Amino acid sequence: MFKTRMTELFGIEKPIMLAGMNWITEPKLVSAVCNAGGLGVLAVARCTPQETKDFIRQIKDMTDKPFGINQILVGPGAKENIEVAIEEQVPIVNYSLGKPWFIDDVHAYGGKVMGTIAVARHAARAVSMGCDALVVTGHEAAAHGAAATSMVLIPLVAKQVDVPIIAAGGIYDGRGIAAALALGADGVSMGSRFMIVQESMVHERFKQLCIEATEQDTLYDNVFDGMDGRVLKTKEAEAMTKKGFPVVDAIKGAMLVKRVLNLSWSKFVGLTFEMMRAEEGHPMMVLARQAVGNMKHMKAIMEGDVEGGILFAGQCCGGIADIPTTQELVDRIMDEASETLARMNKLDV
Ligand SMILES: Cc1cc2nc3c(=O)[nH]c(=O)nc-3n(C[C@H](O)[C@H](O)[C@H](O)COP(=O)(O)O)c2cc1C
């Protein structure tokens, strides 16, 4: 037991969350984190509503502990996936990018809503809309952190709001948990670290690349999927930053999304405008850019394609050196966190 406001709110044992990661946080990894005492979160941005339902049911079969789903609100299918989560009464609904319209519906069955923010001024607004907790993402993070690092952002947000704060970005060991608690957080969310565990479906070649990477080996740019984001420094990622945005690929990607989702032109244009208004997005062909990013991510995650693939990854890859089981990892970092806090308590102050 390691009690914080986060563990109390969600009814979990340890203040560690598996960050929602599109493609990667499948039922196997989600349930492994739940069964190890943390909070597993299933990212559903890439799922059809049927897949979302199937995955939620698989998780329910694999664990009796609380779990969450994560949905990026500005993409196609967001509304439908959230509806499924509500029907299935998922205990925790975590959203990023966009405005949540469903908070009362989740509260109605006793669920909790967790907003993800990367800019301090968005914190109070999310809480005023009814969020029960916030994930606060620093610049070090894989994928879509903004300009401020966790060191600056967490205390700023902790001063503004009175709900549990879950620190994301750059955390990979128990010292990181202790530091996050010291900065005002109530727990942590880890993405990159949980990509490199035995239960993760990331291709072994990319797991190895993350282990070999130093803290300098990521790139932060908006060319990868249209929003500022951080990826592992691969050949393809470096080439993308030099070439700029691949217009031809983007148009192909956009057409693919339209076809796969069977969108009418009016729905397609509507979605594109919706994404253009996204709080933290950029007003240019975001949907198409995401499609390009997704295709290259799949090459990395599924095929281990080092030449053509890109992978969201955080600076903390520099500190990741092994591929433990989820249970081993959670136990180890909780021990490290307790040791670190005990050491700090002994300081002569
Ligand atoms: C491959 C990958 C996919 C991700 N997909 C999502 C996503 O679908 N939704 C989301 O809110 N965040 C997504 N993220 C960001 C994570 O939720 C989290 O904020 C980040 O990994 C934290 O930083 P860390 O990697 O330093 O722990 C993704 C991260 C990675 C590595």
Alpha carbon of 313 to ligand 1 centroid (Å): 8
Calpha distance 135→157 (Å, rounded): 10
Report which of 20, 17, 23, 21 is spatially closest to residue 4, judged by C-alpha positions. 17
Calpha distance 280→271 (Å, rounded): 16
Shortest-distance atom of ligand 1 to CA 192 = 25
Shortest-distance atom of ligand 1 to CA 95 = 11
Token pair of 162 as six digits:
């009175």
Q: Is 218's C-beta closer than 6 angstroms to any atom of ligand 1?
A: no
Q: Is 24's C-beta closer than 6 angstroms to any atom of ligand 1?
A: yes
Shortest-distance atom of ligand 1 to CA 172 = 27
Q: Whose Cα sits closest to atom 1 in ligand 1?
A: 312
pLDDT for 173: 98
Alpha carbon of 143 to ligand 1 centroid (Å): 5
The answer to whether the Cα torsion of 226, 231, 236, 242 is positive or negative is positive
Long-range contacts of 99-107 (CB under 8 A, 24+ apart): 99/73, 99/129, 99/279, 100/73, 100/129, 100/130, 100/131, 103/129, 103/130, 103/131, 104/130
Alpha carbon of 12 to ligand 1 centroid (Å): 21
CB 202 within 8 A of CB 313: no
Q: Is 41's C-beta closer than 6 angstroms to any atom of ligand 1?
A: no
Q: Which regions in the chain score pLDDT beneath 50? A: 278-284
Q: Whose Cα sits closest to atom 15 in ligand 1?
A: 143
Shortest-distance atom of ligand 1 to CA 94 = 11
The interaxial angle of helices 27-35 and 49-62, nearest 10 deg, is 30
Alpha carbon of 335 to ligand 1 centroid (Å): 25
Q: Is 142's C-beta closer than 6 angstroms to any atom of ligand 1?
A: yes
Q: Is 170's C-beta closer than 6 angstroms to any atom of ligand 1?
A: yes
CA-only gyration radius of the chain, Å: 19
Cα angle for residues 23, 27, 32 (degrees, 5° grid)? 115
Pocket residue to mutate for ligand 1, from 21, 24, 140, 333, most atoms within 8 A of Cβ: 21
Shortest-distance atom of ligand 1 to CA 313 = 31
Alpha carbon of 259 to ligand 1 centroid (Å): 27
Q: Whose Cα sits closest to atom 11 in ligand 1?
A: 96
Distances (CA, A) of 183 to 17, 97, 173, 293, 309: 17, 24, 16, 33, 36
Q: Is 177's C-beta closer than 6 angstroms to any atom of ligand 1?
A: no
- pTM of structure: 0.91
pLDDT for 276: 52
Alpha carbon of 171 to ligand 1 centroid (Å): 12
Calpha distance 114→133 (Å, rounded): 5
Alpha carbon of 191 to ligand 1 centroid (Å): 5
Alpha carbon of 141 to ligand 1 centroid (Å): 7
User: What does the domain layout of the chain look like in residue ranges?
Assistant: 5-203+322-345, 205-315
CATH number for the domain running over 5-203+322-345? 3.20.20.70
